[in-house]
Structure 1
Amino acid sequence: MTLTLIAFVGLTFAVLVMLALPLLRRQNGSVIRAAFDMQVYRDQLRELEKDLERGVVTAEQADAARLEIHRRLLNADAEARAAGALQTGSPGRRQRIFTTIALAVALPIAAFGLYGRLGSPGYPDRPHAERMAEMLGLTPDQAKNLRITAETMTKALQDGGKQSDWIALGQTWQQLGEYTKALNAYEQAAGLGPLDAASWASLGEANVMASNGQVMPGAKDSFLKALAQDRDDPRSRYYLGLAAVQGGDAQRGIAIWRDLSQGSPPDAPWMRMLRSRIAQAAQEAGIPPMGISPRHPLDSRPVEVATLPSGPGAAAPMQQQAEQADEGFSPDQKAMIDGMIQRLKDRLATAPQDPEGWARLGKSLGVLKDYDGSVNAYAKAVEQDGGNAGTRLDYGMALLARAETTKAPSLPDAFYEQARWMATNAPDEPGGLYLRALAAESRKQADEAINLWKKLSSVMPPDSPAYSMAQDRLKALGAN
């Protein structure tokens, strides 16, 4: 207790010295420092605009950074003004000495009072090892015994050992949170011959943890080797989904996680964490997760939020996806998704010049069956970025979905406009061929429709839904 008191007094004295010295010195240099800071912030703004032009940052990231720089710039300007006022009318030495004495008396009293009320003067310090053991779910004795075991095994294996011994050592270090040592042990085991699925997954996991949570190429390779032996290994499927999200492909990551969610027991220990990850990734990417078809990591087919139709109805897949909206999500997660869409709407209301934002909103609303909202959002996206073929295609699909849902007697003019644009600007794009074929059929141009369906069939894989539908339409049109 005496040592604690001495340390407390020493720290208090040091703080008082640091506070008192600026007060006792003459006030100078503040204006120069503030002016320097302001110049730095102006340079940061110019660099930010250059990064935005080069595409290094997104418009949303630039807005957030610009807001923070502006805040700091304003604070620096206020500091410069305050410093200027101090120089023209700074208090005298007597006043500064009085302020210093007041701090010297008030600060220790306030500190002792707060510590006595909120602190725990008699509570002993907790050693680092004890805190680490608690984080790992171990008692201090368990952690101590495991460490002794790991160190003993490490010494025993210095001259070599069996693969199973290295795997056991890796597992022990992994239990202790020593992931770099665990990774080394697993790699030693892998050097002695092929591992089983569980060991490959453990090696990959140790690699991820040793890399501060990043799924590096070596870890991905380990997880793929695990899945080659056990297609259902949950750790490998989870981390490969994480790898996709970290690599910027949120749709594929969510698809992998949804596949894992569907194939897992409802009470599996990872389900809560998995659903939280899905909701978080979807929120950050601005996409509704229930509209993404599940994909196993070994399934290399592209992942899309809304696919081309698989039956007579053009909007069938979108409707099927919307009907599955409740699958695997708690009410809180659904509320989070609704909140995500509302925040996107609010942001677009204040910053409407954002074609990507409008397109993202259109896709989200379409999956949720708000076809009017989807059409209106896509219309704004096309208005702001009319040269984007993907947005034009999505707009046409939204118009088609709304027409089928409302059982409209004919397709709207905007749909034919998108089909004409695709014919001129993206004549070989499969989605454009699809829109153009439907437009031709709607206008009773059978020969044109047949040619377009045949062209679509020639560029699509035979096992794809679009190919099957094109063949169905050709039969219905009497084509040979």
Structure 2
Amino acid sequence: MPFWVLIFLIALLIAIFLGYTMLRGRRGTGPTAAYDLRVYREQLAGVDKDLARGVIAKADAERVRTEISRRILAADAQMRNEDKGTGPSRLVTIIAFLAMAAVLVGGGLAMYRQLGAAGFPDMPLSVRLEMAEDLRENRPSQAEAEGIATPLQTPPLDESYATLLNRLRETVAERPDDLQGHTLLAQHETNAGNFKAGYEAQTRVIELSGDDASAQAYSDQAEMMILAAGGYVSPEAEAALRQALERNQRLGPARYYWGQMLAQTGRPDMAYRVWVETLNDAPAGAPWANAIRSQIDELAFRAGVFNTPDFSAASGPSQDDVNAAAEMSPEERQEMIRGMVDGLSDRLATEGGTPEEWARLIAALGVLGEGQRAIKIRNEAKEVFAGNAEALEMIDAAALQAGIAQ
């Protein structure tokens, strides 16, 4: 059964139930005075029975009949007033029911058409994961992506710079094994907006470097490929990113583009986690961190995350903070540092953080002379990162720096 049919039936059933309640009114119970009348009549019949059996005297029976008769008259008058009540007429009730049914059924279908996916087949999580994996394995290559990418409109080069760039190209062509020449060529081709020529030169840099090729070299190669493809992360760019992250798992630019690749291949959930971890490790002012902040809200929506922390502000002190700190007295500066430490401590306690942040907090507490608090934070950090040898080594190093190593 299509999902929109199910929505229609549910809305219709709710409308019918509410309409039945509205039209039925108080038919089952009647006015309150009518119930009182039945009780009083039963009491009046009971008086006659008690008199016939000799339970009460005739004078008492007459007195009780008089009182019950008075109550019957009062109840009858009250019932007549209730019959003249100000409630809506049956026609008004029917019109209200039809309007409510139209809002429930029509509004439900309209909302589903706007927010849902009418006509789209059922898609369990396992099917979506298979589709994402298929998309990742069969996506266009670097060459195909470059062929359909919109060419970038770069400003014309300064004549002297263009002359130097042409001379560099000629020199590198004459010296195919010149590592420094290819490094410069990759940099300047990229600066000039020639991203394809840039990553080709960078590929040669990696070939000449051999096993000594750095994580940054592979990350730069991937970035040039992505720029050449108009922001698309091709399988070839993914392979370069993988090489970069194998050499340095915490390289910010590579992690940013890795998250972008996951988002493009149907895994925004994984991309969101990668970007959050990357932001937690980001130094103040990192350009790739600013790029993440500008996109992470949309990515969180796609990932189904609706309680995202506030990533709008960059971590770390600004230049104004640094300038203000230089003008403070030692006591004021110490108080400012204590406030920053307390803020970091509160955030780690509520939101968690990276091993670097825990280590930074431990070392800062040691500088402030709060040894007992540093010990407590160290023990808590060891519980959080139990089983993570690299993180525990970082925590121990911070504890040694704070003077609390056991």
Report the TM-score when normalising by structure 1: 0.32
| Structure showing greater Rg | 2
Report the TM-score when normalising by structure 2: 0.37
